Amino acid sequence: MKLFEAQWGAKGPIAVVALGLFSIASLAQAHAMVRSVSIAEGATLTAAPPNLVIVFDHDAGLGSVRLTTASGEVVPLAFTPPRAMGKTFTIPLPRLEADRYKIEWRVIAQDGHVMAAGVNFVISGASPTLTSAPLPKPKRL
């Protein structure tokens, strides 16, 4: 601390702390964090939506996407990750049978860090049905 005080005076320690906080903030901004995913973790759906949409808070490069069943079988996707970085990626999904699925992706942040994430979901295959109870017989007044 004496070295900083000699060069910076009493403000030396404050400058060191401020520089450290700025460095941490810069690193956090370089990582692309998932802002939203169109399929919620643990969702149960009657049918697969046409697309999975992933939105990041910063530009990222989508490196790979993999869809698997509960038994680990890989489900082919008609999708090639784009070469350009972006914040939003739309992945077309195939028609899916009733099963448990996991879709995983890997992205490369602007700072070169590779991050992986995913979502587990269920396709129930059952269509929602409306049931109604019989109407009561009218009473005479």
Whether the predicted pLDDT of 125 surpasses 60: yes
Segment 116-134 shows an average pLDDT of 73
Q: What's residue 6's pLDDT? A: 55
Q: What is the pLDDT of residues 18-72, one digit of tens each?
A: 444 444 444 445 578 899 999 999 999 999 999 999 999 999 999 999 999 999 9
Please, what is the Cα angle at 113 between 62 and 51, to 5 degrees?
A: 20
CATH class of this structure's domain 31-123: mainly beta
**What is the predicted pLDDT for the residue at 12?**
52
Residues 6+ apart with CB under 8 A from 41: 119, 120, 121
What is the rounded distance in angstroms from the CA atom of residue 59 to the CA atom of residue 86? 5
Instruction: Tell me what the mean pLDDT of segment 71-97 comes to.
Output: 95
Q: pLDDT, tens digit, for every residue of 73-82? A: 999 999 999 9
- What are the residue boundaries of the structural domains of the chain, listed by start? 1-28, 31-123
Kind plus residue range of the DSSP H or E element containing 80: none
User: For the whole model, what pTM was predicted?
Assistant: 0.68
* Burial of 82 from C-beta contacts in 10 A (0-12 / 13-18 / 19+): exposed
Task: Report the alpha-carbon distance of residue 94 to residue 88 in Å, rounded.
Answer: 20
